[in-house]
Structure 1
Amino acid sequence: MDRSTDEAAIRRLFEALCEAWAREGASAVDAFYTPDSDYVTFDGSWLRGREANRRVHEELFAGVLAGTRLVGEVESVRFLGPDAAVVVSTGAVLWPWQRSAPAARRSRQTLVVVRGDDGRFRVASFQNTRVRPLPPSDSLFMRLFAAVQRVRLAWWRRRHPEALAA
């Protein structure tokens, strides 16, 4: 089955969401979500429903996100059926004076998009996570961390032998 038309619509949805962020803020972004959508922010907060999402983003756009724009790109679209897909994207929030985001503010998002009765895709679930790759496993930090964890595990096992029997 050719899904290219649906995939193009989903990619346009993501682009339009980014454009609406800069142009109109929370009220425009609101329209891209289903009424019962879930939105998990990069700090782990869980916004349940479009209204909660709008309310929190209105506060942010009036404060720390004032004048910002959202930039990003879709990395993949995987269809779950004829009317639903998982979208993985990367992005960041930029202030007007920034051309690109510092690496520490880069995020990866997982979106579940669904087709509504009107034929348009909307976001039913959005998970935003900061990109924080671990250091290489052979780095000094990771070797020391692993050594400390092995010592802690050995100590814990001596104190809780009943856990090993399970």
Structure 2
Amino acid sequence: MTTTAHAGVLDALTGLEACWQAGDAGAYATLHAPDATYVAFDGTVMTGREEIVEGHRRLFDGIMRGSRLAVVERTIRFLDPATAIVVQRAGIIMRWQRGRTVPSRKRLSTNTTVLRRDGDRWLVVAFHNTRYHPWAETLVGRLMTRSAT
């Protein structure tokens, strides 16, 4: 894909991070398509900008006030010139964790973001967030995958 398309997707992602850090639910939602689908880590589904605004306003006014997003790793793949899929491991750094540069393990999530080109900018059309808890690293997972000797 072109460097312009890649840069446009990165601009959209950086914009999302900036809006989150500013606690601006309205600006955050404008980076999503009017009919975007947003699935939060707890399974809550928000459809459209208004639901995304309301869902995030409550977060930014409450527990997520003063928090910021921190990306640990990211891949971007283009399906076609106007569609990008971003898979990233990221997490929230809470306001009381000011000295942190990476999220704590318990706040890590893996998320998938689908973006579409809309004129000269990229908008999120679908987002799905899942807490990062690899089963094989849990006690039960380790016990279940142990080889019998």
Shared fold (TM-score greater than 0.5)?
yes
1:8 and 2:7 are equivalent in the alignment: yes
> CA-atom RMSD, angstroms?
2.2
Distance change in 2, residues 1:133/1:52 (3 Å): same
Partner of 2:131: 130
RCO higher in 1 or 2 (8 Å CA, sep ≥ 6)?
2
CA contact (8 A) 1:74 1:87 kept: no
Q: Could you tell me the TM-score, scaled by structure 1's length?
A: 0.77
Report the CA distance shift for 1:50/1:74 in structure 2 as closer, same or farther (over 3 A): farther
Distance 1:103 1:83, change over 3 A: same
Equivalent position amino acid for 1:77 in 2: I
Q: Which amino acid aligns with 1:108?
A: T
**Structure 2 regions of 5+ residues with no counterpart?**
none
Matched-pair contact (CA < 8 Å) for 1:39–1:46: yes
1:101 equivalent to 2:103? Answer: yes
Residue 81 in structure 1 maps to residue 80 in structure 2: yes
Q: Does 1:112 align with 2:97?
A: no
Q: State the 1:52 CA deviation.
A: 0.5
**Counterparts of 1:115 and 1:74 in 2: how far apart (Å)?**
23
Amino acid at match of 1:15: T
Q: In the alignment, is the contact (CA less than 8 A) between 1:37 and 1:125 conserved in 2?
A: yes
Task: Tell me, in whole angstroms, the C-alpha distance in 2 between the residues paired with 1:92 and 1:143.
Answer: 25
Point out 4+ residue stretches in structure 1 off by more than 2 angstroms. 139-146
Q: What are the Cα deviations for residues 109-160 of structure 1, in whole angstroms up to 9, with x where unaligned?
A: 10000011x3210100000011111226xx97347557xxxxxxxxxxxxxx
What stretches of structure 1 of length at least 5 have no aligned partner? 147-166
Identity of aligned residues (%): 34
Q: Distance in 2 between matches of 1:129 and 1:140?
A: 20
**For 1:144 and 1:21, how far apart are their aligned partners in 2?**
39
